[in-house]
């Protein structure tokens, strides 16, 4: 899905990046607290300390702002460089870095709150759910699939269905911990718990998809 995005350059006064950042921070807080329908552009403007006209000058509408807020949140935790293939690095270590970043993202209180906002309104707002999917999970999947293709070309992984393998990887990393957190019955995790879970998830993935050479180099 393609969304209209406000132009960042053109005739007139240049847009203030500081105000844009303040608008995005306000939007992330308010969308989580009040949901999409319960958050107005007026309230976002007041929270950001700018005029509503300034909000619209940076983002054409509330949907565009929601999309940008979700995308930025994901990029903060999982920047595009995370999916760059390091030909000199261990494939295991690269997978573990991706898994750690993803697990931290989906387990964060803000992410859990947003998930609940979306699931309570998903039945009546499929467009909103699609915007979230495009800005967050789809972007992450695309970056990881590019990473997998690079590792396949390097002879480290042997995967026939990259989209399926990508979905399996993130499902493994979420695991029962994420499901329990969504239900509100998860116990606090220690660093040891997280490292053990990530290691086991990556190990499982490599046993399924590492080539002989890649498996040897991953140990």
- 45: domain CATH number is 1.10.10.60
Residue 100 and residue 200 in one domain:
yes
Please tell me the pTM assigned to this model. Answer: 0.79
Residue 95 belongs to a domain: yes
pLDDT range class, residue 4, cuts 50, 70, 90:
very low
DSSP of the chain, one letter per residue? -------SSSSSSPP-HHHHHHHHHHHHHHHHHHTTTT--HHHHHHHHTS-HHHHHHH-SSHHHHHHHHHHHHHHHHS-GGGG---TTS-HHHHHHHHHHHHHHHHHSHHHHHHHHHHHHHTTT-HHHHHHHHHHTHHHHHHHHHHHHHHHHHTTSB--S-HHHHHHHHHHHHHHHHHHHHHHT-PPPPPHHHHHHHHHHHHHHHHHHHB-HHHHHHH-
**Same domain flag for 29 and 123:** no
| Chain segment 36-88, per-residue pLDDT in tens | 888 899 999 999 999 999 999 999 999 889 888 888 888 888 999 999 999 88
pLDDT of residue 121: 59
Q: Are residues 126 and 91 both part of a single domain?
A: yes
72 in Cβ contact with 51 (< 8 Å): no
Any idea which of 55-59, 71-75, 92-96, 144-148 has the lowest mean pLDDT?
71-75
pLDDT, mean over the chain: 86
CATH number, residue 96: 1.10.357.10
**Same domain membership, residue 119 and residue 51:** no
The predicted structure's pLDDT at residue 213: 56
Q: What is the pLDDT of residues 190-219, one digit of tens each?
A: 999 999 999 999 999 999 999 865 444 444
Residue 217 confidence (pLDDT): 44
pLDDT, greater one: 92 or 66: 92
Q: Is 4 domain-assigned?
A: no
Same-domain status, 122 and 55 = no
Q: Would you say residue 3 has pLDDT above 50?
A: no
- Does 96 lie in the same domain as 64? no
Tell me, yes or no, whether 37 and 119 share the same domain.
Answer: no
The answer to whether residues 33 and 124 belong to one domain is no
Query: Domain range for residue 33?
Result: 17-68
Q: What is the mean pLDDT of residues 111-132?
A: 72
* Average pLDDT of the segment spanning 130-137: 84
- Whether residue 56 is found in the same domain as residue 84: no
Question: Are 36 and 87 within one domain?
Answer: no
What's the domain count of the chain? 2
pLDDT of 114 higher than 90: no
25-39, 76-90, 132-146, 182-196: the lowest-pLDDT one: 25-39
Residue 179 lies in a domain: yes
């Amino acid at each position: 899905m393609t969304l209209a995005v406000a132009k960042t350059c053109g005739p007139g006064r240049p847009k203030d990046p500081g105000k844009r950042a303040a608008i995005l921070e306000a939007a992330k807080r308010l969308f989580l607290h009040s949901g999409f329908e319960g958050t107005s552009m007026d309230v976002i403007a007041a929270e950001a300390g700018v005029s509503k006209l300034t909000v619209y000058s940076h983002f054409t509408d509330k949907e565009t702002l929601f999309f940008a807020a979700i995308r930025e949140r994901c990029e903060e935790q999982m920047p595009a460089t995370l999916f760059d293939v390091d030909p000199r690095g261990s494939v295991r270590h690269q997978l573990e870095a991706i898994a750690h970043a993803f697990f931290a993202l989906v387990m964060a209180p803000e992410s859990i709150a947003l998930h609940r906002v979306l699931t309570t309104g998903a039945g009546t707002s499929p467009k909103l759910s699609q915007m979230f999917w495009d800005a967050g999970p789809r972007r992450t999947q695309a970056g990881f699939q590019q990473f997998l293709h690079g590792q396949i070309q390097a002879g480290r992984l042997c995967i026939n269905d990259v989209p399926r393998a990508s979905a399996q990887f993130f499902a493994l990393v979420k695991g029962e911990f994420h499901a329990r957190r969504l239900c509100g019955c998860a116990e606090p995790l220690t660093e040891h718990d997280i490292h053990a879970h990530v290691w086991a998830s990556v190990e499982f993935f490599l046993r399924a998809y590492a080539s002989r050479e890649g498996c040897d180099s991953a140990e």
